[in-house]
Amino acid sequence: MISRLGGADLDVPPWAVVGLGRQDELLAHADLVICGGGHGMLSKTLLAGVPMVVIPGGGDQWELANRVVRQGSARLLRPLSIDALVAEVDEVLSRPGYRRAARRAGRASPMSMIRYGCAMKRCPRLGRLVACG
C-alpha cells in the first residue's frame, strides 16, 4: 500500500495495485507496512497483526515508534537510506517473531476485543476497563 497526497504518477512494479482502498482491507493482505509512525497507521497495522518498519518524522511519531519496537512488532529506521531500508525490511520479513508480536498486540487491543465479541466493562475495584467473554 502506498499512500501519498499528490505528485506525478509513479511507475509501479507489476505486482502492485494502484487505486483507492480501505486501509483495513489492504492491511489484511499485507506482509509488512513501512510507515512514518502516526497513531492511526500504527493502530490499524497492529489491529491487522502486521509487522512494521517505522520511519518517524516528528512529534509523537518517535515515541510511538519506540513503543512498537519495544513491544517487538517493528524496527525503527533513521537515518533513511535505501540500503538500510532493504536491510530492515529483510530483518522483519525473515523473523517470524515480529509478526507474532504484531498479532499479540492486535488481539490485546480493545477494538479487537469488540470485533471478536468480547464486551468491555468498567471494573469498579480496578477503576479500569476489562474484557469480558
pLDDT tens-digit readout, 35-53: 999 988 999 999 999 999 9
The whole-chain average pLDDT of the chain stands at: 81
CB atoms within 10 A of CB 30: 15
In eight-state DSSP terms, residue 95 is: -
- The crossing angle, in degrees rounded to 10, of helices 96-108 and 61-71 is 110
pLDDT, tens digit (0-9, with 9 covering 90-100), for 71-112 = 999 999 999 999 999 999 999 999 999 999 999 998 886 655
pLDDT above 90: percentage of residues in the chain: 50
Q: If pLDDT is split at 50, 70 and 90, which confidence band does 66 have?
A: very high
- pTM, 2 dp: 0.75
Cβ atoms of 51 and 99 closer than 8 Å: yes
Q: What is the dihedral of CA 72, 76, 82, 84, to 10 degrees?
A: -70
